[in-house]
């Protein structure tokens, strides 16, 4: 099978809070993350959501929990949901993900 991913994944177990109109908010955790997205585990009663639905996500273990990521559900897996980064919000403003990547690069 050919690898179709554009970005390498890193195993990252981080606590996250996911938001969706059907259930409000729910805390769960990630299994892995890449530059393109994240796989969140379906523990703690995460309901099945359809592909292409949008959710919001906060990394609870981050140093800046005021950053809210807008995500697209791109994959349903036995262990959870595959989410793609769309953009992020901070202080009421919406920014492209590329902006955040530029900030990270400058911090290295």
CATH of the domain at 76: 2.40.10.220
> What does each of the 108 residues of the chain score in pLDDT, given as a tens digit?
344 545 577 888 999 999 999 999 999 999 999 989 999 998 777 888 999 999 999 999 988 889 999 999 999 988 999 999 999 999 999 999 988 766 656 655
Dihedral (CA of 74, 80, 85, 89) sign: positive
pTM of the model: 0.84
- Answer whether residue 5 is part of any domain: no
Domain limits at 23?
A: 10-107
User: Burial, 68: exposed, middle or buried (Cβ in 10 Å; 0-12, 13-18, 19+)?
Assistant: middle
> Residue 89: CB partners within 8 Å, gap ≥ 6?
67, 68, 70, 95
What size, in residues, is the chain?
Answer: 108
Report the distance separating Cα 54 and Cα 78, nearest Å.
19
Judge whether 1 lies within some domain.
Answer: no
Residue 78: name the closest of 36, 37, 46 by CA. Answer: 46
Q: Within a domain: residue 94? A: yes
């Amino acid at each position: 099978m050919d690898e179709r991913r554009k970005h390498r994944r890193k195993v990252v177990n981080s606590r996250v809070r996911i938001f969706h109109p059907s259930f409000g908010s729910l805390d769960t955790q990630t299994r892995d993350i890449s530059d393109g997205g994240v796989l969140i585990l379906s523990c703690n009663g995460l309901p099945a959501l359809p592909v292409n639905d949008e959710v919001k996500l906060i990394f609870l273990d981050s140093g800046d929990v005021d950053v809210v990521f807008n995500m697209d559900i791109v994959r349903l897996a036995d262990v959870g949901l595959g989410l793609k980064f769309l953009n992020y919000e901070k202080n009421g403003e919406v920014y492209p993900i590329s902006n955040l990547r530029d900030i990270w690069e400058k911090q290295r």
